[in-house]
């Protein structure tokens, strides 16, 4: 009797432990790490087969992941997010739209291939998709210029090609796909104030709403890249003054404006990581190059998500609060 009671107590303890948030969080991280390792293994496999550097496969996969998350379809956490349309996969004149037969797909000049050696070309299988993509790109060649052409033929969208090239640059520079860390744009030890100003009206340049958050700080406070990414724009803009735009690996464009100046060693296409100083707080803008002092010094920080054909602004405030809190708690 006593033993039975002890046993149930033990079961309860195990159950409680396995349901505790801490345990769940740890399991998620291990799971995410395993998924990342498995992805990397597949990218390297596709690279070995095609001589195309692994970072391009990683970049195509990440690009499609950001797009499928956006359009809310394909929410399954598939290892590889690349999805080839059924018609393209099986071949335009293939009477069987969901064909997985390798010979039939080849006969109808379909895109599908068998990458994991199970004899089937399954368009939801990551290894099969990567194999098919590798064979497609190999027709063009493995140089950057040839890959651009191959990707253009595949997506028929210049923005898609640009994003994939940018992501590949980040992976190449940091030799990892673990590039999701983020920080606050100003040193958290600096004097600054900010509040949510999303959608507020503003005066200069016609009727525009305020798309971003203003962080008020003294002249010269360093402005840092919040994420891993690539410099997409740098220089003067009549609204933003001296400004820097960075595309991150989640396909978000980060806009840092009204700087007193930007880091002169940086150029379009350069990679940055969280904390890289890109410029300094100022009051430039609202006029021709060099205009300054029309308003108090502050960093205007905006975030825009790529919606395929254009970028849409979204409120950076919640993310700012979260990264500020996380960084302060680390100190
Ligand atoms: Zn602003």
- DSSP assignment of 8-39: HHHHHHHHHHHHSHHHHHHHHHHHHHHHHHHH
Give residue 1's pLDDT band: very low, low, confident or very high (50, 70, 90): very low
CA of 313 relative to ligand 1 center, distance in Å: 13
User: In the prediction, which pLDDT does 197 show?
Assistant: 80
CA of 173 relative to ligand 1 center, distance in Å: 31
Lowest mean pLDDT among 59-73, 144-158, 245-259, 293-307: 59-73
Residue 96: pLDDT over 70 = yes
CA of 167 relative to ligand 1 center, distance in Å: 28
User: In the prediction, which pLDDT does 204 show?
Assistant: 55
CA of 310 relative to ligand 1 center, distance in Å: 21
User: In the prediction, which pLDDT does 76 show?
Assistant: 58
Output DSSP code: residue 47: H
CA of 197 relative to ligand 1 center, distance in Å: 8
CA of 69 relative to ligand 1 center, distance in Å: 28
Do the bridges between strand 271-272 and strand 229-237 make them parallel or antiparallel, or are there none, so unpaired?
antiparallel
User: In the prediction, which pLDDT does 30 show?
Assistant: 86
CA of 186 relative to ligand 1 center, distance in Å: 15
Q: How far apart are the first and last CA of the chain?
A: 53
**Per-residue pLDDT reduced to its tens digit, 14-66:** 444 444 444 444 556 888 889 999 999 999 999 999 999 999 999 999 999 99
> Can you list the domains of the chain with their CATH numbers?
35-83+124-174 (no CATH), 193-330 (2.70.70.10)
d(CA 255, CA 304): 8
Looking at per-residue confidence, does 71 or 249 come out higher? 249
CA of 301 relative to ligand 1 center, distance in Å: 7
H helices present in 139-185, as ranges: 144-155, 158-174
d(CA 151, CA 278): 31
Average pLDDT over residues 151-165: 96
């Amino acid at each position: 009797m006593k033993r039975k009671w002890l046993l149930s107590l033990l079961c309860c303890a195990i159950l409680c432990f396995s349901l505790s948030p801490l345990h769940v969080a740890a399991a998620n991280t291990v799971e995410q790490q395993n998924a990342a390792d498995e992805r990397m293994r597949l990218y390297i496999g596709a690279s070995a087969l095609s001589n195309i550097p692994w970072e391009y496969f990683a970049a195509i996969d990440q690009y499609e992941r950001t797009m499928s998350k956006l359009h809310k379809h394909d929410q399954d956490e598939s290892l590889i997010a690349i999805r080839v349309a059924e018609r393209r996969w099986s071949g335009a004149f293939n009477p069987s739209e969901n064909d997985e037969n390798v010979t039939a797909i080849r006969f109808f000049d379909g895109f599908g291939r068998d990458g994991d050696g199970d004899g089937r070309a399954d368009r939801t299988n990551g290894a099969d998709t990567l194999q098919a993509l590798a064979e497609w790109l190999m027709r063009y060649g493995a140089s950057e210029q040839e890959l651009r052409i191959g990707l253009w033929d595949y997506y028929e969208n210049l923005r898609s090609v640009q994003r994939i090239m940018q992501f590949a640059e980040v992976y190449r520079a940091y030799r990892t796909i673990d590039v999701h860390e983020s920080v606050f744009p100003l040193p958290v030890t600096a004097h600054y104030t900010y509040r949510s100003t999303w959608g507020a009206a503003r005066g200069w340049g016609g009727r525009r709403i305020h798309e971003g958050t203003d962080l008020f700080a003294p002249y010269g406070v360093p402005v840092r890249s919040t994420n891993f990414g690539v410099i997409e724009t740098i220089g003067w803009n009549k609204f933003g003054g001296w400004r820097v735009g960075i595309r991150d690996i989640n396909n978000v464009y980060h806009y840092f404006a009204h700087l007193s100046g930007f880091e002169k060693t940086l150029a379009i296409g350069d990679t940055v990581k969280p904390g890289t100083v890109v410029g300094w707080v100022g009051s430039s803008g609202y006029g021709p190059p060099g205009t300054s002092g029309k308003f108090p010094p502050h960093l205007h920080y905006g975030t825009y998500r790529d919606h395929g054909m254009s970028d849409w602004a979204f409120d950076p405030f919640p993310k700012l609060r979260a990264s500020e809190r996380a960084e302060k708690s680390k100190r």
